[in-house]
A and B are shown apart, each in its own frame.
Chain A
Amino acid sequence: MAAQTLFDKIWDAHVVTDLGSGMALLAIDRHIMHDLGGGRGLKQIRESGRKVRNPDMVFAVPDHAVSSEPGRTSETTELSSGYMKLLREETSRHGIRLFDLGEPGQGIVHVVGPEMGISLPGSTVVCGDSHTCTHGALGAMAWGIGSSELLHVLATQTLPQTKPKRMRVTFTGRLPEGVQSKDIMLYLIGRLGAAAGAGSAVEFAGLTIQNLSMEARLSLCNLSIEMGARFGMIAPDDTTLEYLAGRAFAPKGALWDRAVAHWRTLPSDEGCVFDREESVDIGAIAPQITWGTSPQDVVGIDGAIPDPTAAAGSSRRFEMETALRYMGLEPLKPIAGTPIDRVFIGSCTNSRIEDLRQAAAIARGRRVDARVTAWVVPGSYNVMKAAEAEGLDTVFRTAGFDWREPGCAQCAAANGEVVAPGERIVSTSNRNFVGRQGPGARTHLASPAMAAASAIAGSIADPRRLA
């Protein structure tokens, strides 16, 4: 048999029917729904007289609309009350497993899926959220879908899809001190651009990746969509298996052994061919931070805000000028030292226990600057409990951070927790789009360590100076 990529192996194993012209009807193994789309989708299915085909392959967890306020319930806001009521009613009607507020398993869908062992290597995972690419870190084929596709999956447990091109990015070099997987991915997007992965499934490979922890890999794959790729993946290896063993929904006993034997066959074969190959050396990069309104607008913390007059082409120049005006930044000034109003540590990118440990290591024994409001929002109930068991909540609180309840919170501000117009925030989330964290909000994307360092400094700061 011809040498195959990781992606092709999973694709082929899920083809129910070849629809011709590169399109196939694919079987879906795992469908995880969040509060914004889940209840509504199930209601629509019911009202259309259809049924959920495989309710035991569907999971639901509230994250977007719920408040992150300490002590929150579903009733904390009217918005969350409405979405929770619908989600509870409809999941119960259709017999779908719901991880409700205050239960193990509640949290951001892309933290929970891997953490609970719902997402598995070699599986197809979908969710009505673009950051579903996160789960690809386990060696899954995972992607975000729209609300019509969500209904399609509920009714048929399949999706017609066009096969994407295959791309591989090989990272080489040892992670420099103070540089995290968030940084290397922002660096990559800065180099290749926000559209580099459009139409592609991207596999991340190389020694740098093999040496990353599972959580660091999840952060990395999470940002695949910010380079335009619906799918980001990493071949399963010992790190993956160690992470998954014993997880609540992962197979156990003899079934585990059988699954592992299958998962071992998944990595891309020697000599397989990708449509595009890129290689990037990260051995000498600095921690990264965005300056503009696209994740590709990125610079090292020791760098300067770029000058639009030096841009290649008039349209790029116009874009940069527009972004700098929105961000309230002047060209050529150092990015470090820019005063900030807020810090947000959380989101499906960086809210796992390792992220919180990295931020806490900076925060320990220091104080958040008096001008800054700083939030830490753990990614899930389990992350919250683990962090509290280690005393990280105390570290953050003592330093002046707010320690909050798990959910998406300020990343998309879908729950109303917006950043005010003109406020500048260093955020560990994934999108610095215009208005993303609130109308007029100015977002700088960075790692948890840099976010914590900036909270302490009251301005954009290099975490290496505080480590």
Chain B
Amino acid sequence: METFTVLSGVAAPLARENVDTDLIIPIPRLVTLANVDLGKWAFEAIRYHKDGSENSDFVLNQSRYRGAPILIAGRNFGCGSSREGAVVAIRRLGIRCVIAPSFGDIFFNNCFQNSVLPIALPQEEIDRLMEEARTCTSGAAFAVDLEAREIRTPGQRTVAFEVDPNRRQGLLKGLDPIDTTLMRDGEIAAFQDRDRKARPWIYG
């Protein structure tokens, strides 16, 4: 998996709450036997008009935010369906970090397997970051530093964030979680041996 250390780039403000994963990637784009570039269809319903032309109201269609690697979003971002395609779609769109007051729990978990960093911060801090993303010089970069666990803004502010230490190590080193767990196979076998005696009805 690709590592995540320091991400530097434009931050796009998407001031909308409860952005669900159906909105991030609609199921017909996901459920197809063909190989589809999900990035093209990320946020389809709000990104394009019915005739397929771009909707300029959508923040990532605006020239100063196009291709932004950082998204600042409203509460409960990524709620709803468990589809990991939602993370894949924004990743293909170029987004590596989403900053929001809260996330859909399954979306949040799925991010780490795709080298995308979700950062939860209090609403007041999100408001400040959104404001800065709107008013800073076009093209000015935010830096998301996973090593130092801080965001540095174009306005020279430093915002600390928390991230689970295991998840952080996984991203910094680009570890495959399955490989990491397989190193504990002996512990898993020992657990199952004990558990088979305690709860035999669980095992076939």
Q: Do A and B come from one complex?
A: yes
Residue of B nearest to A55 (CB): B204
Query: Is B18's CB under 8 angstroms from A21's CB?
Result: no
Contacts of B85 in A (CB 8 A): 147
Query: Is B201's CB under 8 angstroms from A17's CB?
Result: no
Query: Is A146's CB under 8 angstroms from B109's CB?
Result: yes
Q: Which of B182, B191, B204 meets A56, CB within 8 Å?
A: B204
Given A20-B165, A79-B31, A164-B105, CB of A433 within 8 Å of CB of B82: no
Q: Mark each residue of chain B from 99 to 124: 1 if its CB lies under 8 Å from any CB of chain A, else 0.
A: 00011111001100110000000000
Query: Is A315's CB under 8 angstroms from B17's CB?
Result: yes
- Determine whether A152 belongs to the interface, using a CB cutoff of 8 Å to chain B: yes
Once the chains are docked, how many angstroms separate the CA of A376 from the CA of B14?
A: 39
- Determine whether B52 belongs to the interface, using a CB cutoff of 8 Å to chain A: no
**What total of chain B residues lie within 8 Å of the partner, measured CB to CB?**
57
Q: Which of B31, B46, B103, B164 meets A198, CB within 8 Å?
A: B103
- Determine whether A149 belongs to the interface, using a CB cutoff of 8 Å to chain B: yes
Query: Is A433's CB under 8 angstroms from B22's CB?
Result: yes
Given A50-B178, A57-B204, A431-B80, CB of A19 within 8 Å of CB of B166: yes
Q: Which of A50, A228, A436 meets B79, CB within 8 Å?
A: A228
Q: Which of A65, A130, A164 meets B81, CB within 8 Å?
A: A130
Q: Which of B16, B79, B104, B188 meets A158, CB within 8 Å?
A: B188
Nearest CB of A to B121, in Å: 14
Contacts of A155 in B (CB 8 A): 178, 181-182
- Determine whether A135 belongs to the interface, using a CB cutoff of 8 Å to chain B: no
Query: Which residues from 295 to 322 on chain A have a C-beta closer than 8 Å to any C-beta of chain B?
Result: 296, 315, 319
- Determine whether A333 belongs to the interface, using a CB cutoff of 8 Å to chain B: no
Contacts of A53 in B (CB 8 A): 188
- Determine whether A259 belongs to the interface, using a CB cutoff of 8 Å to chain B: yes
Query: Is B188's CB under 8 angstroms from A16's CB?
Result: yes
- Determine whether A156 belongs to the interface, using a CB cutoff of 8 Å to chain B: yes
Query: Which residues from 167 to 219 on chain A have a C-beta closer than 8 Å to any C-beta of chain B?
Result: 194-195, 198-199
Query: Which residues from 79 to 100 on chain B have a C-beta closer than 8 Å to any C-beta of chain A?
Result: 79-85, 87
- Determine whether B38 belongs to the interface, using a CB cutoff of 8 Å to chain A: no
- Determine whether A267 belongs to the interface, using a CB cutoff of 8 Å to chain B: no
Q: Which of B18, B87, B109 meets A145, CB within 8 Å?
A: B109
Once the chains are docked, how many angstroms separate the CA of A151 from the CA of B182?
A: 12
Nearest CB of A to B195, in Å: 7
Contacts of B199 in A (CB 8 A): 13, 122, 259, 262
Query: Is B20's CB under 8 angstroms from A433's CB?
Result: yes
Given A195-B102, A262-B199, CB of A319 within 8 Å of CB of B16: yes
Nearest CB of B to A78, in Å: 7
Nearest CB of A to B40, in Å: 16
Residue of B nearest to A150 (CB): B84
- Determine whether A350 belongs to the interface, using a CB cutoff of 8 Å to chain B: no
Nearest CB of A to B192, in Å: 7
Residue of B50, B82, B166, B181 with most chain A CB atoms under a 10 A cut-off: B82
Query: Which residues from 148 to 204 on chain B have a C-beta closer than 8 Å to any C-beta of chain A?
Result: 164-166, 177-178, 181-182, 184-185, 187-188, 191-192, 195, 199-204
Q: Which of B17, B26, B83, B104 meets A319, CB within 8 Å?
A: B17
Contacts of B177 in A (CB 8 A): 148, 152, 160
Contacts of A194 in B (CB 8 A): 18, 76, 79
Nearest CB of A to B49, in Å: 12
Residue of B nearest to A198 (CB): B102
Query: Is A230's CB under 8 angstroms from B106's CB?
Result: yes
Query: Is A21's CB under 8 angstroms from B166's CB?
Result: yes
- Determine whether A404 belongs to the interface, using a CB cutoff of 8 Å to chain B: no
- Determine whether B15 belongs to the interface, using a CB cutoff of 8 Å to chain A: yes
Contacts of A83 in B (CB 8 A): 33
Nearest CB of A to B204, in Å: 4
Residue of A nearest to B199 (CB): A262
Once the chains are docked, how many angstroms separate the CA of A436 from the CA of B182?
A: 37
Nearest CB of A to B197, in Å: 11
Query: Is B166's CB under 8 angstroms from A435's CB?
Result: no
Nearest CB of A to B94, in Å: 20
- Determine whether B6 belongs to the interface, using a CB cutoff of 8 Å to chain A: no
- Determine whether B47 belongs to the interface, using a CB cutoff of 8 Å to chain A: no
- Determine whether B45 belongs to the interface, using a CB cutoff of 8 Å to chain A: yes
Query: Is A17's CB under 8 angstroms from B79's CB?
Result: no
Q: Mark each residue of chain A from 251 to 269: 1 if its CB lies under 8 Å from any CB of chain B, else 0.
A: 1000110110010000000
Once the chains are docked, how many angstroms separate the CA of A294 from the CA of B81?
A: 13
Residue of A22, A147, A262 with most chain B CB atoms under a 10 A cut-off: A147
Q: Which of A123, A149, A151 meets B109, CB within 8 Å?
A: A149
Given A57-B204, A228-B76, A431-B80, CB of A315 within 8 Å of CB of B105: no
Query: Is A160's CB under 8 angstroms from B166's CB?
Result: yes
Query: Which residues from 126 to 159 on chain B have a C-beta closer than 8 Å to any C-beta of chain A?
Result: none
Contacts of A229 in B (CB 8 A): 105
Given A17-B187, A198-B105, A228-B105, CB of A146 within 8 Å of CB of B84: yes
Contacts of A57 in B (CB 8 A): 202-204
Once the chains are docked, how many angstroms separate the CA of A378 from the CA of B83?
A: 24
Nearest CB of B to A356, in Å: 25
Residue of B85, B114, B192 with most chain A CB atoms under a 10 A cut-off: B192
Nearest CB of B to A255, in Å: 5
Contacts of A129 in B (CB 8 A): 81-82
Q: Which of B22, B32, B165 meets A431, CB within 8 Å?
A: B22
Name 11 interchain pairs, CB-CB below 8 A, sorted by A: A16-B187, A17-B187, A23-B166, A130-B81, A146-B82, A146-B84, A146-B87, A146-B110, A251-B201, A255-B201, A319-B16
16 more contacts with CB within 8 A, not counting A22-B164, A143-B106, A157-B188, are: A21-B166, A27-B192, A54-B192, A57-B203, A79-B32, A130-B80, A146-B83, A146-B109, A147-B84, A148-B110, A152-B177, A194-B76, A228-B102, A296-B18, A433-B23, A439-B26
Q: Nearest 10 A-B pairs (CB), nearest first?
A: A148-B113, A146-B110, A251-B201, A146-B84, A195-B76, A56-B204, A144-B82, A130-B82, A433-B22, A147-B84
